[in-house]
Each structure stands twice: as structure tokens, then as C-alpha cells.
Amino acid sequence: NYDRTLELRIMRYTEGEYLMVVRDVSQLKQLEGMRSNFFANVSHELRTPMTVLQGYLEMSKDPEMLVGPMWDKAHGVMTEQLVRMNSLVAQLLTLSKIEAAPNIELEETINVPAMLDILEKEAISLSGEKNQQFTFDVDKSLHVLGDAEQLRSAVSNLVYNAVKHTPDNAAISVRWYLTAAGPRLEVTDSGDGIAPQHIHRLTERFYRVDKARSRETGGSGLGLAIVKHALSHHDSQLEIESVLGEGSTFSFTLPRRLVKKAA
Ligand code: ADP
């Protein structure tokens, strides 16, 4: 493997003898690269709305500038940008919280059907005038053990993404049921679908298929990274199947040992 970064150190050992230490620092370099990339991304994401806000603040110095319809527009744009910054910071906090707890105890009882019930109401409200058609097919007796906050983050990100990427009046279905392998959640949308070359990169932080569109829908690009980490803490992983122009299914299966047995 030639893609390695080696660090070479020569130290004096005894009189006339030297010690040569070769250290493989490839992984360290890669981590450093990822970290600086992450900070560059966060800064960029925050800077864009801040620049817009700064522009309007400058304009507001002139009392003639932001009046009548101009003020209405400015107010709308500023609110939108602040909401965007707020949701980015909230997603960053969720991600850092999840990453900081790699060995969580999976011992909370999670009433997933109740969680999905609330999520269904939230999804309908988020859908609003898009009037998408929701089907929630939920095994009411299937409760699991795990970390409620993390699992909720994972499931809600998948459902909200389905709402964001599905056209008006189209169908979205959520299924929660027990398979031989364990409890399984499927979120199927009838949205844009995703081209195969993007699928394996979707859980990278800030990776978006269409940056402009994701920003328009208020996306931070961190949702699926959160899902990936939360699921990995539950010994599970995200599966993505998609057909361009037809829709996608995002799903995961939890290990069978996490089924909460009825008392
Ligand atoms: P975002 O905040 O941009 O939605 P995510 O991490 O949740 O960030 O998703 C990353 C990207 O994956 C999105 O920008 C979008 O391009 C794509 N994506 C996620 N969910 C769907 C979906 N249900 N249908 C089509 N594309 C999706």
C-alpha cells in the first residue's frame, strides 16, 4: 500500500549508536484532514446565513431602504436564515452528543409505537399544504431496549427526509414490525430517488446530492450522519434502496436481543 504517511525519527541511542523509529501516521493524518474539513464545512454553513443577515443590517441603516414590501421581504429572509442557523446548531449538538457517548447502555424501554404516533402527527403538520398521504403500519406491541433520544433522532430524521423529498399529494409509508432478524423500521417515500453513485456517501457529514435544494428545504446535511451514529450504537445500520424518479426506502433492523419482552 503506497498511500501511507510515515514519520521518521532518528534518535541517539548510545555513543555511536542510533535508533531509527518509523511511525505510520496515515490514520492520524486522515483524522486531522477530516477534522479540518468538518470545521471548514461548519464555518461555511454558518457564514452563508450570517452574510445575508449582515447585508440586511447594513441596509437598515438607511431609513428609506427597508420600507413597505422591501421590509416584508427582508423580514421573511432574515427569519428563514435564523431558522436555518438554529437548526444547524441543533443538529450539530445532537451529533456531538451522540458521538460523545459511544458505549451507551441500551437499557431504556422504548415505546416505539407511541414514538411513531407522535412522529406521524409531526409529519402531517410538517407536510402542511403538501398534503402527502401517510400510512403508518405499526406493530403496537413491539417495544425495544435502547437509547430513546438517539433512536428518536434516527427515526425522525428519516421521516422528515421523506416529507422533504416527496412531492405534493404523494405517498409516504412507515412500517415497524418484527422480522426473524429483529425489529425493523422502513420509511418509504415516493420522491426524487437517489442515483446509485451518491448512495454510499449520504451518511457523510454535510454530503448532499443537491446542495442548493437541500438548503432550500432547510437541510443541514447532518441528518443521515446522526442516523448512522445512532444506529451504530444500537448495533444496527442504515440500509438505503432507491430508484431515481420513483422513490427511496430507508430502513434498519435492530438486533433481536433488543426486543423488550412483555412483563
Ligand atoms: P439534509 O439536511 O440535507 O436533508 P441529510 O443528511 O438528512 O441532510 O441527507 C443528506 C442528503 O441525502 C440530502 O441532502 C439529500 O440529497 C439526500 N436524501 C436524504 N433523504 C432523502 C430522500 N428520502 N430522498 C431523496 N434524497 C434524500
pLDDT tens digits, residue range 35-84?
888 888 899 889 989 999 999 999 989 888 888 888 899 999 999 999 98
Ligand 1 pocket test target in 187, 214, 228, 249 with most atoms within 8 Å of CB:
214
Beta bridge partners of 24: 6
Cα–Cα distance, 52 to 238 (Å, whole number): 36
Centre of ligand 1 from the C-alpha of residue 221, in Å: 7
pLDDT tens digits, residue range 130-144?
999 999 999 999 999
Centre of ligand 1 from the C-alpha of residue 22, in Å: 43
Q: Which ligand 1 atom is nearest residue 91's CA?
A: 2
For ligand 1, which residues put their CB under 6 angstroms from it?
157, 161-162, 165, 189, 191-192, 194, 202, 207-210, 214, 219-225, 248
Cα–Cα distance, 171 to 189 (Å, whole number): 6
Query: What ipTM did this prediction achieve?
Result: 0.98
Q: Are 172 and 235 in contact, with CB atoms under 8 Å apart?
A: no
Residue 183 cell numbers, joined: 425489529
Q: What are the CB-based long-range contacts (under 8 Å, 24+) for 2-10?
A: 5/29
Cα–Cα distance, 11 to 205 (Å, whole number): 41
**Residue pLDDT tens, the chain, 263 long:** 567 888 888 888 888 888 888 988 888 888 888 888 888 889 988 998 999 999 999 998 988 888 888 889 999 999 999 998 999 999 999 999 998 877 788 889 999 999 999 999 999 999 999 999 999 999 999 999 999 999 999 999 999 999 999 999 999 999 999 999 999 999 999 998 999 999 999 999 999 888 776 766 667 899 999 999 999 999 999 999 999 999 999 999 999 999 998 76
Q: How far is CA 61 from CA 4, 52, 66, 73, in A?
A: 55, 15, 9, 17
Cα–Cα distance, 89 to 86 (Å, whole number): 5
In this structure, which amino acid lies at residue 252?
A: F
Longest dimension (CA), the chain: 84
Closest C-alpha to ligand 1, atom 20 = 161
Cα–Cα distance, 43 to 88 (Å, whole number): 11
Backbone phi, psi, residue 48, to 5°: -60, -55
